[in-house]
Amino acid sequence: MTAEELASRVGEAMFAGDRASRDTMGMTLVGCAPGRAVMRMTVDDRHLNGHRICHGGFIFTLADSTFAFACNSRNQATVAAGCSIEFLRPAQLGDVLTCEGVEQLLQGRHGVYDMKVTNQRGEVVAMFRGKSAQIAGHVLPEA
């Protein structure tokens, strides 16, 4: 199996069990490749705060979920060790948010990943940086 096929299968397996991202948040997994992931979410009423814009916690969760798929894409169980986010523009009701996550560094057990959240017009809504730590185990059983 190629690295691309493995990453795709890891993504599918993780998403199948990820009720929080899928059911609670309404996200979709667009794709997963080695060190990369893309997820999407349409802002609906459940995502709005008192200002009638998307609550920052939901934007954060979209980025954090994308981070999880990107850093687990090589089938090594991996968790977040830290992260930060910059909110750059509000997301509105009906906006389609896409988060693209890209591995910047993988060194030993630790990695650094950048997530960019954009709306359907390509405007950057938020930037997220996550640090990962590998733990024992795998997403899919080793062959």
Confidence (pLDDT) at 73 = 97
- Residues in contact with 26: Cβ distance below 8 Å, sequence separation at least 6, in sequence order: 41, 42, 44, 46
* Segment 97-141, tens digit of pLDDT: 999 999 999 999 999 999 999 999 999 999 999 999 999 999 999
Confidence (pLDDT) at 100 = 98
Q: Is the pLDDT of residue 13 over 90?
A: yes
* Segment 88-103, tens digit of pLDDT: 999 999 999 999 999 9
Of the pLDDT bands very low, low, confident and very high (cuts 50, 70, 90), residue 68 is very high
Distances (CA, A) of 112 to 73, 80, 99: 14, 10, 16
pTM: 0.95
Confidence (pLDDT) at 88 = 98
Closest to 39 measured CA to CA, from 68, 19, 16:
68
**Mean pLDDT along residues 73-94:** 97
Question: DSSP secondary-structure letter at 27?
Answer: E
**Mean pLDDT along residues 73-78:** 96
Confidence (pLDDT) at 142 = 83
